[in-house]
Amino acid sequence: MFKNLFGKKEEVSKTIELKAYATGRLVSIEEVPDPVFAEKMMGEGVAIIPSEGKIYAPIEGEVVRVFPRKHAVVIQAQNGAEILIHIGLETVSMKGEGFTTHVSEGKKVKAGDLLVTVDLNLVKEKAKDIITPLVITNADVIEQVEKTISSGDVIASQHNILTVTAK
């Protein structure tokens, strides 16, 4: 009984593995046709050109932000990393059309949980690009972001794509 009250708290690993958050072609963040992402103004990351319209949680954590227009989600991982997934480019102008969110702020998620479904054909028609960047936005608490896979086809929730180590 006292062990539960006074026992050591379980240590959270400083290093986490992020899984592919969509099925499609993984590319480097520098290939995103938008300088905010390509020049890493928001942080280090990768991008996936999705082949299907389902975006999944890449890691266990808590949803800290679902953008009102449903085009982006931020998850805070257990090691403190804040992970932004931005679906398509210039999709904010779509005002949520074609996007369905399956999570809300404060929800705990596991890797592989469905976050958002999106009509990729509608995004192709109404926005700049379907490329979907993932960025670690709080570089101040991150020691290292390492790409597990640099490019190629990935399957959502199966391939590890990044290793993120907190300070």
Length of the chain as a residue count:
167
Residues 6+ apart with CB under 8 A from 129: 33, 34, 88, 89, 90
Contact 164/136 with Cβ under 8 angstroms? Answer: yes
Residues 6+ apart with CB under 8 A from 125: none
**Looking at 71, 86, 102, 159, which residue is catalytic?**
86
For the question of residue 86 being annotated catalytic, the response is yes
Whose CA is closest to 133, among 88, 97, 102? 88
Positions marked catalytic: 86
